[in-house]
Amino acid sequence: MLLPNAKKRMTTRIDTASSLPHWQWLTVGEVARALRLTEERVRQLIRQRQIKATKIGGWLVQPADLSAFVASRSNMAES
């Protein structure tokens, strides 16, 4: 049984790479909100090197790296 938001959640496309300047970085909180995960889970993915990040004060993720992570987890062909 799908929850009311499940279909929307599965079809939501994250296109942060094209909507942000190339120099802008995302915080763990921003990544967590974009992926609908907890901040701790995002940190775990960073520690596991599944999400590429740089630690400058706190972990920071480039939008292109977030898009690459999402693409690597997709079973849909790129169009």
CATH code for the domain of 63: 3.90.105
Q: Domain count of the chain?
A: 1
pLDDT band at 28 (very low <50, low <70, confident <90, very high): very high
| pLDDT value, residue 3 | 44
Tell me, yes or no, if the pTM score tops 0.75.
Answer: no
Token readout for 51 is 């999400």
Could you report the per-residue pLDDT of 37-69, keeping only the tens digit for each?
999 999 999 999 999 999 999 999 999 999 999
Query: Is there a contact between 21 and 31 (Cβ–Cβ < 8 Å)?
Result: no
pLDDT at 19: 58
In a domain, 68, yes or no: yes
Provide long-range contacts, Cβ within 8 A and 24+ apart, for 17-22.
Answer: 17/63, 17/64, 17/66, 17/67, 19/63, 20/63, 22/62, 22/63, 22/64
- Res 18 pLDDT > 90: no
The domain of 33 spans: 22-72
Residue 37 lies in a domain: yes
Q: Are 45 and 28 in contact (CB under 8 A)?
A: no
